[in-house]
Structure 1
Amino acid sequence: MKVLTFDIGGTLIKFAVYDKEKGLIDFKEFEYPKKGRDGILEIISSQADIYEFDCIGICTAGLVDEKKGSIIFSSSAICDYTGTKLKEIFEEKYKKPVWVTNDVNAAALCEAHFGAGRGYNDFICLTYGTGVGGAIVINKQVYTGSNGLAGEIGHIVTHPNGKKCACGAYGCYNEHACTRTLVESCMKININYDNGKKVFEAFNNGNSQVKKEIDEWIDEVVYGLITVTHIFNPPAIILGGGIMKEEYIINEINTRLKEKVMLGYRNVKVISASFANKAGLMGAVQFALERVENDI
């Protein structure tokens, strides 16, 4: 069984081939196409045209109708992407099964079966980058709700009348706790602190101003996790995104969260995701294989 797997994120499109014997091979990254939707379709076709495969698994940013394999809503970051029928387009072109899911749902599925979630039947997964994505895992499966859209934890309102979110609302967790917001704050200190890695280099070099921004941002992260913990009472919350690999971040989140939740909820464990930039790809493979095996 060979699966072509794509991860359509906010800044990059990732690709790999999954081989049952070899795992993920031929990993590639593509810069985000300026042409938006049409550029995405071209990149997928460019790889599907040159590989033999049995099916395609795609994970993507945005709200996804998994049954139809289409994009219900995407922010303006991806031009003309809303309404794109990925499954229909590529099944018609290649006559092979195509499965599409949300990128964070895919990452959660990957962690559940191969990563930090292997020891848990249930957990919450969040990823922090250009926004905040969420997924709810119950019995090793992603819970998607009545019409497939559950888990949009990034749109909990933590700051009424706060920053305007891409969804149109104000004060979403997505805007106040994403890594992008931390980076933007640190760039006011030094224009060169333009990504999470550089921010933490400054922190590790003893920059007190950067530490102040990081500590304030950690509080923003914890505000949302308090709500998540009280609603779901999960044994674990798995946090993804490059910045969540930093030991200081995870330790501080655990400490502050336990200080702020009610007594009966303090057993929750916040842990860093095991998979880095290939979690979505592997999750999309798992999503596709489960459906092929169950003949969905």
Structure 2
Amino acid sequence: MNMRILAADIGGTNTKIGICDEQGNMGQFKEYATESHKGGRHVVSRLLDQLAEYDYDYDAIAISTAGQVNAEEGSIVYANENIPNYTGTKLREMIEGRFHKPVKVENDVNAAALGEAAFGAARSFGDFLCLTFGTGIGGAIIINRQIYRGANGVAAEFGHIFTRPLAGMSGGAGRPHYESHASTTALIRKAREADPECVDGKVFFDKISKGNVGLQHILHDWTAEVSLGLASLIHVFNPSAIIVGGGVMEQESLVRLVAEGTKAMVMPSFADVSIVKASLGNKAGLLGAASLFLR
């Protein structure tokens, strides 16, 4: 019998829902605005109502969500201001109470990594890291095709490793954290300082494609920041691969630049690591959450 999982992926901006089978086929897909600014209670209430519209036959419910997750309890350990008052939400308990189906809950980047392992770019790798570059930098550690969670279940906060000295650092742009200098937010912040029209990645890369030399220098410096963090992680974990995702990493040419820069920084004995673009796009979290039941 082919198991069918109703999966949802709760993001700060949009929430996605679909029904996934054991082969990774996605059906009944839909997407709606999370309205995260209205807070955790609203986000969950809206999710429950949206899930209730699926009266198709399915066996279990799997949730990928922003925030730090206690996967054993299915609860939110910590969520930042992107979803106010979401911390402490007992998500699994609330969903099971409504639908009386088995429920599993996973952090969104962990879920994306599991999706890539089961159905995407990481199918041939046993040990790999996954990083997503967006508003911040999310991370996941996969060892022997299992998530490494750490002592408190919240390992892989790669965005908060230090890539700059602490001395003299203060304020948002001056923080020594990796994501303060290598996230997409950091890239666009620098681009807007040089050209106020660069309000997002699309405008930025359009201008670069037309030969804007100043913005090309900014991109070069940013890829060096990305590579610096990746090189540090490679020396710690010695992974077979690093899967990079997030909208900005959809460009193969940018992933090649990052890979070249990273390999120039690592010791020769670490240089055979593969740096690969994530392949599942915005379905990775759904598929990875579903794989929690399928593996």
What residue ranges of structure 2 are gaps of 5+ in the alignment?
none
- 1:51-93 per-residue CA deviation (whole Å, 9 max, x = no partner) reads 1332211111111000111111111111101111100111112
| 4+ residue runs over 6 A deviation | none
In the TM superposition, 1:145-184 aligns within 5 A as 145-161=150-166, 162=169, 170-184=175-189
Post-superposition offset of 1:163: 5.9
Q: Does 1:49 align with 2:52?
A: yes
What does 1:120-269 correspond to in 2, within 5 Å? Answer: 120-161=125-166, 162=169, 170-269=175-274
| Aligned positions of 1:9-24 closer than 5 A | 9-20=11-22, 23-24=25-26
Displacement of 1:26 = 2.1
- Compare 23-32 and 189-198 and name the one that shifted more: 189-198
Kept after mapping to 2: 8 A contact 1:18/1:24: yes
The partner residue of 1:25 within 27, 43, 50 is 27
> What is the TM-score when the length of structure 2 is the normalising length?
0.91
Deviations along 1:15-53, one digit per CA (max 9) or x if unpaired, are 212245782112222223131212211221122212133
Cα 1:192/1:11, change in 2 over 3 Å: farther
Q: Does the Cα contact within 8 Å between 2:5 and 2:21 map onto a contact in 1?
A: yes
Tell me what 1:71 maps to. Answer: 76
Are the aligned partners of 1:163 and 1:175 in contact in 2 as well (CA < 8 Å)? no
Unaligned runs of 5+ residues in structure 1 are: 291-296
Normalising to structure 1: TM-score of the pair?
Answer: 0.91
Which letter maps to 1:45?
A: L
Distance 1:116 1:51 in 2: 30
Identity of aligned residues (%): 42
**Residues 116/48 of structure 1: CA separation in 2 closer, same or farther (3 Å cut):** same
Change (3 A) 1:174 1:47: same
3-state secondary structure, aligned to 2:281: coil
- In structure 2, the partner of 1:83 is 88
| Deviation digits for residues 103-135 of structure 1 (CA, Å, limit 9, x no counterpart) | 010111011111111111111111111110111
* Larger mean Cα displacement after TM superposition, 72-81 or 188-197: 188-197
- The residue identity in structure 2 corresponding to 1:127 is T
Q: Which whole-Å CA distance do the structure 1 matches of 2:137 and 2:83 have between them?
A: 16
